[in-house]
């Protein structure tokens, strides 16, 4: 099924749309696992999969292996990730949406837990904690997320994303730019549980960022004898001591990460 545009008047209030980005060919190896986790989430009623329009084999593979009516394909020309997500937002049918990169994996009922927390706390946005995994998907350490949650953990109101779209001119860090621009304009909160497995792989468009280089180093160290135990213990302690705190503020994100 292809994605079809939706208006605000038609949006369902008690369900969530997942926007999955898989614009690079290498993500085809991980996308099935990501989709299975998303489709198992009780609150997901629409899954928009953003694909490179030239990647016909991946489109055919999804159609053949996933017969779920919730999946809608959105073939697009290759563009910055912020632009991809903005295009997908125009097809969202529900009042809430959640992002997921094609190589990341949600924990069980991620959005169900986030939505309950958002309604209880009167939030427009809920992020969660995450594990760092190696390319094979094996958990290595706890992620920290002290300044900003990973985009694959975001749950946010659709009307918010339409009011504050990503900056399409940025080829990297559009999530950090969005985070700063929306500071104190929407109600953001952290759900103090780990609901995402973030896959650290070398073949990634974010490889040049300082943040990604740190994640690669941490996951590599975590696999070493003795040092690995220290890394895992340290990240666990930091996560436990900060999970109840709100996100720390950075006014110049691009210079810090």
Averaged pLDDT for residues 204-227: 77
**Dihedral Cα 130, 132, 133, 135, nearest 10 deg:** 120
Find out whether 44 and 38 touch, Cβ atoms under 8 Å: yes
User: Tens digit of pLDDT for each residue in 147-165?
Assistant: 999 999 999 999 999 999 9
Q: Which of 180, 199, 220, 206 is nearest to 133 (CA)?
A: 199
pLDDT at 11: 57
First to last CA, the chain: 38
**Cα(72)–Cα(182) distance, integer angstroms:** 29
User: How many other C-beta atoms are found inside a 10 Å radius of the C-beta of residue 155?
Assistant: 28
pLDDT value at residue 171: 86
- Residue 12, judged by CB atoms within 10 A of its CB (0-12, 13-18, 19+), counts as middle
The tens digit of pLDDT for each residue in 8-59 reads: 555 556 689 999 999 988 888 999 999 999 999 988 999 999 999 999 989 9
Confidence label for 256 from pLDDT (cuts 50, 70 and 90): very low
Mean pLDDT of 198-208: 70
Mean pLDDT value across the chain: 89
Q: How far apart are CA 112 and CA 156, in angstroms?
A: 13
Q: pLDDT-derived band of residue 257, with 50, 70 and 90 as boundaries?
A: very low
**What pLDDT does 253 receive?**
54
- pLDDT band of 221, cuts 50, 70, 90: confident
Structural contact between residues 51 and 59, judged by C-beta atoms closer than 8 angstroms: yes
Question: How do residues 70-125 score in pLDDT, each as one tens digit?
Answer: 999 999 999 999 999 999 999 999 999 999 999 999 999 999 999 999 999 999 99
Q: Tally Cβ neighbours within 10 Å of residue 148.
A: 21
In the chain, pLDDT over 90 holds for what percent of residues? 68
- How far is residue 30 CA from its own chain's centroid? 14
């Amino acid at each position: 099924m292809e994605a079809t545009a939706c208006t605000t008047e038609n949006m369902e209030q008690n369900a969530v749309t997942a926007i999955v980005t898989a614009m690079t060919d290498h993500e085809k190896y991980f996308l099935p696992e990501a989709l299975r986790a998303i489709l198992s989430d009780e609150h997901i009623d629409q899954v928009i999969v953003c694909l490179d329009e030239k990647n016909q084999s991946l489109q055919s593979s999804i159609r053949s292996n996933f017969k779920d009516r919730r999946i809608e394909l959105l073939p697009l020309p290759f563009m910055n990730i912020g632009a991809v997500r903005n295009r997908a937002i125009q097809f969202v049918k529900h009042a809430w949406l959640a992002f997921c990169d094609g190589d990341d994996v949600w924990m069980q009922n991620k959005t169900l837990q986030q939505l309950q927390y958002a309604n209880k706390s009167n939030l427009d946005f809920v992020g969660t904690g995450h594990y760092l995994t190696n390319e094979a998907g094996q958990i290595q350490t706890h992620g920290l997320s002290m300044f900003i949650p990973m985009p694959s953990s975001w749950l946010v109101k659709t009307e918010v994303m339409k009011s504050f779209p990503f900056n399409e001119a940025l080829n990297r860090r559009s999530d950090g730019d969005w985070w700063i621009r929306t500071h104190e304009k929407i109600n953001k909160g952290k759900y103090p549980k780990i609901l995402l497995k973030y896959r650290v792989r070398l073949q990634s468009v974010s490889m040049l960022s300082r943040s990604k280089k740190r994640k690669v180093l941490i996951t590599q160290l975590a696999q070493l004898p003795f040092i690995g135990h220290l890394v895992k213990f340290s990240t666990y302690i930091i996560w436990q001591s900060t999970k109840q705190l709100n996100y720390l503020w950075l006014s110049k994100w691009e210079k810090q990460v």
